[in-house]
Structure 1
């Protein structure tokens, strides 16, 4: 779910934009972003931030060096001679075209975000890619082609999981800061809390998937909040404070509403919800989440509300009406792929190197394994190992090898 107008937001600005109704800095940050986005559109300029801006800079670099960029040209095979990868076959302009490479081939195609069969095989029967925020073209063929030429695979069960709202139009509403702010909890199908809601998004997704069973459903989970929360904070990536939840959400069954917590519990079929909310309100009053530790870490508190103390992540759910919205394990992309070494060289199952073949980004097994080290990890490893691969195939490492 996108904002209704151009609004380039940096990672630092995102924190304050969520507090637009709570902080002068949040209001100024949001106003400047809107002015930049709308003003740019008025003069036919599109301003970008974050990953978009980074991609634009990389493309500009390629153009400045007169490097041809072929779009809509999927890889169909690798060219291998005497055991070494010496080029690729791509389908360009409707026909297979061989492109030879003197030094080596770097696979940087992304993962298998949108391939339902691969996701069910390697990850979960409940995951098919429909909730992914990854590119529509990330369907895993490159990983499969590399495997057919002997490449080992690593961390195929992993993804940059990211809790999202499954919107009626088939898109998703990201849930990042929303999970750290006071006045909300996330519960399973019985209405029970099961995690620190403010935990990093990759871990949150892992927990939702790992705990889901037929008898104890966690997909979907539900975020439960009150009117105070709705009046104070942005929600789902685009809904402004006080803005009602769209009627289409209720029609699709992804949102429920009740005048009381008991009424909301009845609407959801969650008999345990009132007890869960009562327990959470006691913890919020004490300023300490003894059940799951929400607000104990610096990460949790970063996206919290600085005007709420002693714990910026905790606040009661007690001002009706009350709401519940579905939360499912979306992702920013899969992060399992071909196994690569410290020089980004693709490895066989026995640990030997496939000469001339390199992999980076989400096409390679995650450098961090199944752990989320912090913001920018996806882009950071892709850039780092792309640089390493380029230097290695250019012979710039010498004795380091």
Structure 2
């Protein structure tokens, strides 16, 4: 029996389907598993190259973790940043990327990303309603490395009207960053919105976001930005190209023909069935962040599936199916990490809060151990590195701030001077005390050490130089900061009680380990041979970023690029 989209499942028999033009549904040239940025870019490319393609989506929503994200795309030398006057070059980008990822990622894969990324973006803009804008001054994460850019290389999607999706506007996966319905917010706005209570540009940004929403409402539009906007634009491209997306169709297995892949086995309404792929299968099904068994097998403890903001349906289906037929796996111990507050209901992945002046991180000994404003992936790597000690776990760690910090800045969605939700206190993720000594008792760290740590930090803040960890010494650190604070906008003393401690754990945007692929996105065995008929992209594949993170959008840029590469390679074969 063939597999059919669920809207046809209740027809009297499959012969009805066979009589509908274009509904020969049990065989395609290309099958794409997953409807995130990698999968939809791959499907759009395959269709425009003249191939018959279908997208299989596990859940009832499309977009995966892409729809939940900030939507930034790190893509050196793309036409958008070049038009904006960014002084990038292929040589400069290659030097920087090689410095960031090191020798563990084959140079051929790095080159494929850098060479094909700009072509992918132009293709997407030519074949979808998506347009992009430069994320000005959101620097590369290591701007001081050779080839790094203070001004940045990242872009984000221009708003898309959800109404163009028709009934599917309700099928976009929910973002993890809650956006008030009365605003239109871009990723670049968050820097200033966190300062809206103390900075004229922050206030102006809040006004701009509100006015943009009012304008859209007057035009009858429902604007989507960030990851939701990116997802909607790609889906509109697929709709215009008449590429079907089958919802509620999880991957169960890969079908084999000799030593190659001939299709997929999926499940619909409890029934398993096989779809044949004449030319190839592209796995873009995301990572395994919500698979506790896999995380416990591959990743360092402590780890918890409740600490990730990745899509809840990302349980490693494509990775496991690939491994089952002999695909090599790599980077399974790593993720797109970030310090995260395990807020009840859904964790909060911290961005601006840890860079703003007037806060610091301490371990269980009451000591600082990291540049709090550093790249979020690196901060968690350091959290785990220091956790490998003989005297018990160093996780969770605590972010300490004073009342002046709380009066000035948003924390998550709580404005300055507004009370922190009672549930946060009841769950133990926040502690509040009149003095540092009392706070130390509450979070079970040595009071004398915590006091000494804060005194030393305050001295650094007043001098504007973090002598221990160099916080604020580059443009990345200074992006989410308060320009009114001098001499270093990352640093301010903690002096005014009461004091607060926020529990921090190693959260993530998703896992970054998966199927090993070559420069053509072909799945590889451990002996270096290619698995015929199988390609992979996005978080289902081993990341081209290796154990590092080059800049904002280092997940989505490669995901879309290698989806594009995979489809073109199939079309060319």
Bin the TM-score by the shorter chain. over 0.9
Equivalenced residues, count? 394
3-state SS of the aligned residue for 2:306? coil
For 1:227-306, list aligned pairs within 5 A: 227-235=403-411, 237-271=412-446, 272-306=449-483
Is the contact between residue 256 and residue 323 of structure 1 (CA under 8 Å) also seen in structure 2?
yes
Distance in 1, Cα, partners of 2:539 & 2:178: 27
Partner of 2:532: 355
Partner of 2:98: none
Partner of 1:11: 187
Is the contact between residue 439 and residue 499 of structure 2 (CA under 8 Å) also seen in structure 1?
yes
Distance in 1, Cα, partners of 2:291 & 2:517: 22
Instruction: Calculate the aligned-residue CA RMSD, in Å.
Output: 1.8
Is the contact between residue 162 and residue 332 of structure 1 (CA under 8 Å) also seen in structure 2?
yes
Equivalent of 1:189, from 348, 364, 367?
364
Is the contact between residue 5 and residue 38 of structure 1 (CA under 8 Å) also seen in structure 2?
no
Partner of 2:515: 338
Stretch deviating more after TM superposition (264-273 or 328-337): 264-273
Is the contact between residue 117 and residue 128 of structure 1 (CA under 8 Å) also seen in structure 2?
no
Is the contact between residue 116 and residue 129 of structure 1 (CA under 8 Å) also seen in structure 2?
yes
Partner of 2:135: none
Per-residue deviation at 1:39? 7.1
Per-residue deviation at 1:125? 2.6
Distance in 1, Cα, partners of 2:238 & 2:177: 29
Distance in 2, Cα, partners of 1:223 & 1:256: 10
2:260 maps to 1:84 = yes
Give the direction of change, closer, same or farther, for the CA distance of 1:73–1:270 in structure 2 (3 Å limit): same
Stretch deviating more after TM superposition (86-95 or 33-42): 33-42
Give the direction of change, closer, same or farther, for the CA distance of 1:44–1:130 in structure 2 (3 Å limit): farther
2:374 maps to 1:199 = yes
Distance in 1, Cα, partners of 2:195 & 2:468: 26
3-state SS of the aligned residue for 1:295? coil
For 1:319-338, list aligned pairs within 5 A: 319-338=496-515
Which runs of 5 or more residues in structure 1 are unaligned? 397-401
For 1:7-86, list aligned pairs within 5 A: 7-37=183-213, 45-86=221-262
Distance in 2, Cα, partners of 1:167 & 1:214: 29
Per-residue deviation at 1:320? 1.2
Partner of 2:280: 104
Partner of 1:393: 570
Give the direction of change, closer, same or farther, for the CA distance of 1:14–1:104 in structure 2 (3 Å limit): same
Per-residue deviation at 1:207? 1.4
2:556 maps to 1:379 = yes
Give the direction of change, closer, same or farther, for the CA distance of 1:214–1:136 in structure 2 (3 Å limit): farther
Give the direction of change, closer, same or farther, for the CA distance of 1:43–1:227 in structure 2 (3 Å limit): farther
Per-residue deviation at 1:224? 0.3
Give the direction of change, closer, same or farther, for the CA distance of 1:41–1:269 in structure 2 (3 Å limit): farther
Give the direction of change, closer, same or farther, for the CA distance of 1:181–1:174 in structure 2 (3 Å limit): same
3-state SS of the aligned residue for 1:223? strand
Deviations 1:256-283 (A, max 9, x none): 1111222222222222211111110011
Deviations 1:106-145 (A, max 9, x none): 0000000100111111112311311100000000121111
Per-residue deviation at 1:216? 5.1
3-state SS of the aligned residue for 2:286? coil
Stretch deviating more after TM superposition (364-373 or 263-272): 263-272
2:372 maps to 1:159 = no
2:410 maps to 1:226 = no
Normalising by structure 2, report the TM-score.
Answer: 0.66
Distance in 1, Cα, partners of 2:308 & 2:390: 23
3-state SS of the aligned residue for 2:520? coil
Equivalent of 1:142, from 282, 296, 318?
318
Which runs of 5 or more residues in structure 2 are unaligned? 1-175
Is the contact between residue 195 and residue 202 of structure 2 (CA under 8 Å) also seen in structure 1?
yes
Is the contact between residue 5 and residue 34 of structure 1 (CA under 8 Å) also seen in structure 2?
no
Equivalent of 2:546, from 347, 351, 369?
369
Deviations 1:223-280 (A, max 9, x none): 1001111111111x21111111112222222111111222222222222211111110
Per-residue deviation at 1:9? 2.4
3-state SS of the aligned residue for 1:302? coil
2:351 maps to 1:176 = yes
Distance in 2, Cα, partners of 1:146 & 1:230: 48
Deviations 1:128-183 (A, max 9, x none): 311100000000121111101010001001100011111123x1122111111100
Equivalent of 1:315, from 492, 496, 509?
492
Distance in 2, Cα, partners of 1:60 & 1:220: 42
Stretch deviating more after TM superposition (89-98 or 177-186): 89-98
Is the contact between residue 517 and residue 542 of structure 2 (CA under 8 Å) also seen in structure 1?
yes
Is the contact between residue 2 and residue 238 of structure 1 (CA under 8 Å) also seen in structure 2?
no
